[in-house]
Homo-oligomer: A and B are copies of this chain.
Amino acid sequence: MANFSNMVRCVFLLTTLFVPIILGSFIEKPGPRYPPTKGEVWPKPQNQVKIGIRMAFEMEQFQFKIVGNNSPLIDEAIERYSFILSLQSGRKHQRKPSNRRMKNERRTRLADDDLVMKVLNINMTGQDEAWPSLQMDESYWLNIDDVTGNLISASPWGILRGLETFSQAIYRGSPLSKDLFINQTLIYDFPRFPHRGLLLDTSRHYTSVTKIIKMLDGMAYNKLNVFHWHIVDDQSFPYVSAKFPTMSQLGSFTPDLIYTPADVQRIIQYARRRGIRVMPEYDTPGHTRSWGVAYPSLLTQCYTDDKPNGDYGPMNPANQDLYPFMKDLLTEIVDVFPDKYVHLGGDEVEFDCWKSNPEINAYMAAMNITTFTGLEEVYIQKIVDMVRDLGAYSLVWQEVFLNGVKLPPGTVVHAWTGNQQILMYNITSKGFPALLSTCWYLDHLSNGGDWQKFYNCDPHNFPGNEEQKKLVMGGEACMWGEVIDDNNVLQRIFPRVSATAEKLWSAAEVNDMEEARFRLEEHYCRMNKRGIPAQPPSGPGFCV
């Protein structure tokens, strides 16, 4: 006790001496740490010239005007952005002022600004398209150098991206005023990578359709274009299959925590109208425990002491009924999801259970398969071939590539763990398209503004030649479902995913974190204003 007291006394003294020193410099300025920018665009456009002239903007005096080819996508987008701009101004979009008071009010408010934005001409020069795809053209010109502006793109997708940019360029003059402005600017913009995704896992927790819809809104505000729907996994099977309805009846958490065919179509259509592809993932042969609730024979029985122990492992590749089942299911999936790409998973396959099972061992001996990676290869090869035969392309997690499965050309390899540089080098050096997620795991938390970690990651950051770099299709932020549910899924995604979005859209040279902070603060407030509960990115502040 005496010794302890001495130690205490000593540390007491040390603490007394050092606490004020260690804790110095904690005085902060009043107000936000990073005041938001005004009318800056996120992700940052590839090319932007700022003219230095400010124009007033009022929905009552403004109209979108279609001057090129038309598209239902554009009509709907005009409706949406009219609403968004009305939200921003706190007034409804109406071409004619409804009464004298309003007219007077307007005259007073605009006294300082000679120029008032009148029209945005929307000029789609190419043909309409119905479905977004990996090949879609998202480039656009946005010229706001007069009270009549011009938005030009060859495709409806470029028009959608340009409208988003236009809506972001409009800003409030001050926190206390509802007056809106837009700065004259010339923009030529296009994405750096064609695949800019967000993975959502709806198996570990169920995410409601309402929240998925909100998430798609948020994706559009960040120019993300692929919703990678990790729809089923070990824990639950919420996908309602028309061919195998018992899978969700028995394999979902509860019979109402499901995605009906109508839900799935609603999500696909909602995404389509925002230029977002919906790419489903049916992860096999691991991560399939919930599949076995309805169909136990799909899975491998695990053995202890030469007896089944009641546990199930990965799919049972020795069961020849498995392949017709998978073909039926994949045929349905390729039919339900219009996108040309299906993610087949293939990650984290557990070999212990295969090892324990006599049927598997007998099958391997008969087929002359000597390793479990070899067994996995045999299975995945068949599945990948099925997808190819159905006219679709596959994506697989990195393990499939690392295990040496003979992938058809064009199969995308998705990097998620390990050394990013080496892996991206390896994938592309073998000529496969690559997708990066390693540095963008949204479930990995750290204190405060951990978007910074995401912002410091570049998919081209690996040694390799030009051909290899071209094989990088982009990347995805991953929102795994272990510790998210409807209460926090959107807060956890936004605005952290915005960092990923900018790295995937903007030029490689856009990597100044300090410049980005202020824009991200505006973008966070912008998303809030539009109903996305994005959380504060970088410290003290407020949104108006």
Contact = CB atoms under 8 A, between A and B. Distances in A.
Interface of A: 1, 4, 7-8, 11-12, 15-16, 19-20, 23-33, 175-176, 203-206, 233-237, 251, 253-255, 257, 286-287, 289-290, 292-293, 311-314, 347-353, 372-373, 398-399, 402-404, 417-419, 422-423, 425-426, 429, 443-449, 463, 481-485, 487-488, 491, 528, 533-544
14 contacts: A8-B422, A8-B429, A15-B423, A16-B402, A26-B350, A28-B233, A30-B236, A30-B289, A31-B236, A176-B254, A206-B542, A235-B540, A449-B483, A485-B536
Contacts of A539: 204, 482-483
B15 A235 contact: no
A447 B444 contact: yes
A176 B255 contact: yes
A253 B418 contact: no
Contacts of A31: 235-236, 253
Most B Cβ at <10 Å: residue of A417, A449, A487, A543? A487
B483 A25 contact: no
Most B Cβ at <10 Å: residue of A1, A289, A347, A402? A402
A29 B488 contact: no
Contacts of A535: 483-485, 487-488
A293 B528 CA distance: 28
Contacts of A351: 20, 24
Given A234-B28, A535-B488, A536-B483, A542 B402 contact: no
Nearest to A204: B540
A373 B23 CA distance: 13
Given A235-B540, A236-B31, A535-B485, A446 B448 contact: no
Nearest to A422: B11
Contacts of A33: 235
A536 B484 contact: yes
Contact of A536 (B205, B255, B350, B423): B205
Contacts of A373: 16, 20
Most B Cβ at <10 Å: residue of A255, A314, A533? A533
